[in-house]
Structure 1
């Protein structure tokens, strides 16, 4: 039995945008986190992607910001630290999606490196929520363009990823610049030693919860794998897309070179496809991701790092063209589908050389995947 959103203490005015975005019922992380955040408690949430974590903190923070909307603040009240520019844009979009229909003006800004700093400096005036990567935030602080004296709530989103990417020193420096009295919300997919260390320093009597990985990640995902030789993966991929009449599909590649090669082959065969990876400009990545999200791009090919910003509630298909090296990356990949109550299909193309590694992935995941020999697959006439 679940609690409806209106029972969690959220602002009444948020119920309509929730309904418009087809948020029917709270996820387990939302049921736990929203009342605790509204009660000004610190949070330690361990949850995999697809658990509804972003809305779990965005909604109660917007409720609080609405109450203070009449106050004139020169500087941001909420700071969200994230590891990548893609996630920064994703979090900003969630804040704006729910705040734009509200009567009160709540301004959110995302800042990150890889683009000019000047427009970000000019946009800083009058913001309520600042979403930032650590390095760019410190650059803005050094330029006297941002002040952290009014921060009431700090969110560390994907803390394990942030620390794994080498942001530990930057995060520590940012923490030293914040007001001592504030609310701290820490979300992570894992509780490794670095996250545990920050937890001990940062959080005061936190509400601690861990959402079961299988419940959030695998329940709504239909997984299947095909044994395919590397030389036949391209033609087999195109047959899959046609056979399932895929209108929107995310394909994972193991490298920048492979992502571009897959796209080139698809385009030559009259498929609408683009790739996003670290070699593409920020503007190209942002525009391409937007086209894919709104359904105007059929096929998106991505590397693992770029997938951090791909958050679509009802993405129907994910395909692993190759297996990732780490089992946790496999979980993250397939977690792009089967989100927010929608079902999805995750398909892996596994070569003979990858079979042992796929066994390891399944063991770590705690779930067996149906494995089919592509040579015996019968395709209907299309």
Structure 2
């Protein structure tokens, strides 16, 4: 099925061809026509399934029919859980909107940076992408008006609700016009998602993309049994032995992330930390340097993983296992994307062996487990 059969505006079809997007993904085939028809949508799909373009493309097409002088009245509101995802979504809107005959202004708003700069930039905004807390601050300052929102999109709603944004999301919804289109995307269908689905969506088109083994087929998975006190040296050995030039390392806490980075740097391995305690400027710079190969290793917490989307990332390493099997799949899914192969390596302590068995069972895939002591 080509993009030309979905009803998108011709300018976007040219932009898609220029960027070598040949065929819509499974979720895009269903959600694009539904959003074009102004229907409510519930999409359940993992990160990397193409959902962002799945709503950006039809939203931009619909906006070509309804643009006008709105002052600080946004037409479209996209709520996201993290600053990095806000920037990522904004960039997708900007990438495709440059090809349109009618200009569309997109702005991302989030905490950790000056609110005054964002206040000034809100003039003439059409698409507002933001985290709930900063958006409510802007509303309280009378810097933005939500009474003209025609389409509300909740992206990664499961993560947003898990991070404690439920009350803020409810406050924002209360500020919106009753008559509007609602689009909800989530990686899982939890009780919280069911609640907000029933609260928000009217007769929605429901799209669920099952996450099976095929979604991991491009990722080579390996695990090593490593005692906790030897994980640091073993990590450094892996990076040097495989001559890794770009590797994303996951740890379970900010403290552990900082400790790993300090050890890597002391051993002359370029590394940066990526977590919620870092300033927005620091996080933006670290991610940019990592994407362009200026640093070799980025060490991150799960919270920050939602903002990391890198084409062709060759390696992911789990320094520690995540608590949730779904988070494990999300972590390793940072590699093996868009047809590229990737390698995921887990360092599993003896205390984590049972939990790793649970992860493999939930994933439906057995991972080779090697005793690191046998390699010495």
TM-score range for the pair, normalised by the shorter chain length: over 0.9
Deviations 1:253-282 (A, max 9, x none): 121121112112222222221111122111
2:37 matched to which residue of 1? 39
1:212 matched to which residue of 2? 210
Deviations 1:124-170 (A, max 9, x none): 00111101111211111111100012211100111111122222222
TM-score normalised over the length of structure 1: 0.93
How many angstroms does 1:223 deviate by? Answer: 1.4
Say whether the 8 Å CA contact 1:250–1:301 is kept in structure 2: yes
2:304 matched to which residue of 1? 306
Say whether the 8 Å CA contact 1:52–1:340 is kept in structure 2: no
Q: Secondary structure at the match of 2:306?
A: helix
2:62 matched to which residue of 1? 64
2:347 matched to which residue of 1? 349
Q: Secondary structure at the match of 1:372?
A: strand
How many angstroms does 1:216 deviate by? Answer: 7.0
Q: 1:20 to 1:251 in 2, by over 3 A?
A: farther
Deviations 1:289-336 (A, max 9, x none): 122223332211101111111012322211101111222221221121
| 5+ residue gaps, structure 1 | none
Q: 1:298 to 1:11 in 2, by over 3 A?
A: farther
Q: 1:92 to 1:374 in 2, by over 3 A?
A: same
| 5+ residue gaps, structure 2 | none
- The answer to whether the aligner puts 1:203 opposite 2:201 as a matched pair is yes
How many residue pairs are counted as aligned between the two chains? 375
Tell me the distance in 2 between the aligned counterparts of 1:16 and 1:236: 48
- The answer to whether the aligner puts 1:320 opposite 2:282 as a matched pair is no
Q: 1:241 to 1:164 in 2, by over 3 A?
A: same
TM-score normalised over the length of structure 2: 0.94
How many angstroms does 1:210 deviate by? Answer: 0.8
Say whether the 8 Å CA contact 1:43–1:206 is kept in structure 2: yes
Tell me the distance in 1 between the aligned counterparts of 2:338 and 2:7: 20
Q: Secondary structure at the match of 2:298?
A: strand
The RMSD of aligned alpha carbons is 1.8
2:192 matched to which residue of 1? 194
Say whether the 8 Å CA contact 2:74–2:126 is kept in structure 1: yes
Tell me the distance in 2 between the aligned counterparts of 1:205 and 1:350: 45
How many angstroms does 1:14 deviate by? Answer: 2.1
- The answer to whether the aligner puts 1:151 opposite 2:149 as a matched pair is yes
Tell me the distance in 2 between the aligned counterparts of 1:49 and 1:223: 19
Q: Which moved more, 1:326-335 or 1:101-110?
A: 101-110
Q: Secondary structure at the match of 1:247?
A: coil
1:105-120 equivalence runs, <5 A: 105-120=103-118
Q: Secondary structure at the match of 1:126?
A: coil
Q: Which moved more, 1:305-314 or 1:242-251?
A: 242-251
Say whether the 8 Å CA contact 2:213–2:365 is kept in structure 1: no
1:30 matched to which residue of 2? 28
1:177 matched to which residue of 2? 175
How many angstroms does 1:94 deviate by? Answer: 1.6
